[in-house]
Amino acid sequence: MSNDKVIYNEDNIRSLDWKEHIRMRPGMYIGKLGDGAAADDGIYILVKEIVDNCIDEFVMGHGKKVVVKLKEGTMSVRDFGRGIPLGKVIDAVSKMNTGGKYDSKAFKKSVGLNGVGTKAVNALSGYFKVEAIREGQLKRAEFKQGELLKDHSVEDTTEDNGTFVQFIPDNGVFRNFQYKIPYLEKMFMNYCYLNRGLSIHFNGKRYYSKNGLKDLLEDNMDGDPLYPIIHLEGEDIEVAFTHGKSYGEEYSSFVNGQHTTQGGTHQSAFREAVAKVIKDFFGKYEPVDIRQSIVAAVSVKVIEPVFESQTKTKLGSLEIEPGGKSMRAFINDFLKQKLDNFLHKNSEVVDLIEKKIKQSEKERKELSGIRKLARDRAKKANLHNKKLRDCKVHYNDQKSDRREETTIFITEGDSASGSITKSRDVETQAVFSLRGKPLNSYGLTKKVVYENEEFNLIQAALNIEDEIENLRYNNVVIATDADVDGMHIRMLLMTFFLQFFPDLVKKGHVYILQTPLFRVRNKKETRYCYSEEERIAALNELGKNPEITRFKGLGEISPDEFQYFIGEDIRLEPVLIGNDQSIEDVLKFYMGKNTPDRQQFIINNLRVEMDVEQEITKELKAG
């Protein structure tokens, strides 16, 4: 212990201004930072905070259109609401706890109530501009990292009333960030589902919904529903649900137009209530069988909602309004009346629901014995082998503030898993080592998950046997070699997840680890390149005759080097599911028995890759 005395006096006490605090502790305001690979990364929260204000204007009856544009990392949002009062434009975007939503009468069920969102966007932007247009006058102000650059004078304009915000996320905070268009599109479409009559125009494409949550299910369901979607509405609540063919349960939940991706009290209350009403209607069946394969969406409007974080991804409110009916009672009473009435009037739908419940009940009972044996095998395997190198922080440990960072790398072979294990952050990163190639699970029943040792151990490691909410790690990263075998293993793992745990992918938990293809270095500097373009740039910048190494397998990368690829600068490619094809169609094409079609597809797409590879090989030999 050092004998140096620690000086503690008035000089150690300081006060941070609003922008310094946001920039020093961004996680308090926008959650994790990220680079755009995950839907809840900070750059999307910045967009959401600005659009939320537009939605609040729409809800209050001002402006039915929002125009969003993205160009080379610059985001702009224009609404046609009332516009910020001109004398308060600068205060509204740069003074904490300043806003027009503290009067609950004016913004009774607003998304944002604490006057923080826009200020966080301002402070975390390398450039930020705001314009307010009211009654033929325009007020403009420009900022950099929250600092006022220019306060423009009020000028006359012929533009329609509203607010315009343009910003560029600060590259010093969001390193190497890149917006994923599918994430933005889903965000904008969700706004439209929750606000019928609103249209959002994003880079020229119009998003609009006529039937609310019914449209949401129809647009996002994988395959056809087993029966027509049940769509029920009441004061401050809207629900839609049906059953599909996938395993598990799938929910989309919203509060005051905010997509609560982590659920909360309203989602839990709906799960409980929908099972109870159906069980009471039939006078039998277990909730687990009633909910199996359910696809549902629920939206509630709450006065002064309480969220578990500033990013508003999980509702914590126990009541529909302060001092009012409990969330549980509110949703149960609504479904008890509306759903029970629907069931009594629609016998054909009732027959289809009961048929599905009986099928789920039969499958559950058939699997019960196998599941017990599988659990015992998984426990023994975890005790006696080293397939899973766990981390110290677990996703289900609610006391840890790092649970969202938890990651499990699923690797092929001892060499790669060994390198990652030596390089990882033992607090948050776990490693699961595969033994050979997994089974092609396409078309198989869930029985195989328990009978196949590898699948059973993966399921046990992730802790997803009963519910996806029990997921032990927030990020499931497939880490395989960039060769044919590695790609095949990647496809087999994705088939397994999509076949039996599709919500794991749909909720954005599955990623592909991007590792460098090349190492380019001279005596002074080393560059790791993830693409041919990066390799060429490194060659041009590092001068004459640098040493070039082509990585073909993870095992070729030493633990000392791996720390650069799974640390702060980790590059993850999210596994995204588009709406243009169903999961069943995708799996059937890539993993089914249509060998000739797949062979032709591979030939057509392999030629370009082979040409590039040959050119690289020539250059490496020449160098």
- In sequence order, which ranges of 195-346 are alpha helices (DSSP H)? 213-220, 265-282, 287-291, 327-345
Q: Does domain 385-515+551-592 have CATH number 3.20.20.10?
A: no
- First-last CA distance in the chain: 53
Average pLDDT, integer, range 410-419 = 83
In this structure, the chain runs to a length of: 623
What is the Cα 470 distance to its own chain's centre? 17
Predicted local distance difference test score (pLDDT) of residue 106: 45
Q: Tens digit of pLDDT for each residue in 516-527?
A: 888 899 888 988
pLDDT band (50, 70, 90) for residue 1: very low
Q: Tens digit of pLDDT for each residue in 262-301?
A: 888 999 999 999 999 999 999 999 999 999 999 999 999 9
On the question of pLDDT at 32 being above 70, the answer is yes
Q: Kindly report the CATH number that applies to the domain delimited by 213-360.
A: 3.30.230.10
- Report the chain's C-alpha Rg in angstroms: 27
| C-alpha neighbours within 13 Å on the C-beta side of residue 534 | 14
* 3-class state of residue 478 by DSSP: strand
pLDDT band (50, 70, 90) for residue 114: very low
Mean pLDDT check: name the lowest of 137-151, 242-256, 466-480, 570-584: 570-584
Strand-pair category, 407-412 with 258-259: unpaired
User: In whole angstroms, what is the distance from residue 11 CA to residue 4 CA?
Assistant: 18
Predicted local distance difference test score (pLDDT) of residue 77: 97
Mean pLDDT over the full length of the chain = 84
Average pLDDT, integer, range 79-93 = 91
User: In whole angstroms, what is the distance from residue 417 CA to residue 411 CA?
Assistant: 6
Strands, E assignment, 466-623: 475-479, 510-514, 518-521, 526-529, 547-550, 571-574
Strand-pair category, 526-529 with 407-412: unpaired
On the question of pLDDT at 531 being above 50, the answer is yes
Single-letter amino acid code for the residue at 377? R
Average pLDDT, integer, range 134-152 = 94
**Tokens standing for 458?**
């993966």
Task: Give me the long-range contacts of 94-101 (CB less than 8 A, separation at least 24).
Answer: 94/18, 94/19, 94/119, 94/122, 94/143, 94/146, 94/148, 95/18, 95/119, 96/18, 101/56
- Burial string for 160-192 (b: 16+ CB within 10 Å, else e) reads ebbbbbbbbbbeebbeebebbeebbbbbbbbbb
User: In whole angstroms, what is the distance from residue 154 CA to residue 158 CA?
Assistant: 13
Predicted local distance difference test score (pLDDT) of residue 142: 96
Q: Tens digit of pLDDT for each residue in 565-623?
A: 888 888 889 988 776 667 777 777 777 777 676 677 666 666 555 555 555 555 555 55
User: In whole angstroms, what is the distance from residue 187 CA to residue 290 CA?
Assistant: 30
Are the beta carbons of 277 and 336 closer than 8 angstroms? yes
Mean pLDDT check: name the lowest of 5-14, 154-163, 239-248, 579-588: 5-14
Predicted local distance difference test score (pLDDT) of residue 512: 92
Q: What is the DSSP string of 85-148?
A: -GGGHHHHHHSTT-SS-SSTTTSTT-S--SS-HHHHHHHTEEEEEEEEEETTEEEEEEEETTEE
On the question of pLDDT at 163 being above 90, the answer is yes
| Residue matched to tokens 């967009």 | 47
Strand-pair category, 125-134 with 162-169: antiparallel
Q: Is the dihedral of CA 244, 249, 252, 255 positive or negative?
A: positive
Second CATH level (architecture) for the domain 18-207: 2-Layer Sandwich (3.30)
Predicted local distance difference test score (pLDDT) of residue 14: 57
Predicted local distance difference test score (pLDDT) of residue 43: 93
Instruction: Calculate what percentage of the chain has a pLDDT beyond 70.
Output: 85
Are the beta carbons of 494 and 510 closer than 8 angstroms? yes
Strands, E assignment, 413-523: 429-434, 475-479, 510-514, 518-521
What is the Cα 212 distance to its own chain's centre? 21
Q: Is the dihedral of CA 154, 23, 258, 293 positive or negative?
A: positive
Among 99-103, 310-314, 361-365, 370-374, the range with the most confident prediction by mean pLDDT is 361-365
Locate CATH 3.30.565.10 in the chain. 18-207
**Tokens standing for 249?**
């349960």
On the question of pLDDT at 196 being above 60, the answer is yes
* 3-class state of residue 368 by DSSP: helix
C-alpha separations of 187 from 44, 94, 213, 254, 589 in Å: 9, 26, 14, 12, 29
Which strands, in side-by-side order, build the sheet including 294-300? 230-234, 237-243, 294-300, 250-255, 258-259
Locate CATH 3.40.50.670 in the chain. 385-515+551-592
Helix (H) or strand (E) holding 408: strand 407-412
Number of neighbouring beta carbons within 10 Å of residue 110: 24
Q: Is the dihedral of CA 169, 174, 178, 183 positive or negative?
A: negative
Predicted local distance difference test score (pLDDT) of residue 543: 82
Q: Tens digit of pLDDT for each residue in 483-517?
A: 778 888 998 999 999 888 988 988 889 999 988 88
Using alpha carbons only, give the angle 177, 182, 187 rounded to the nearest 5 degrees: 95
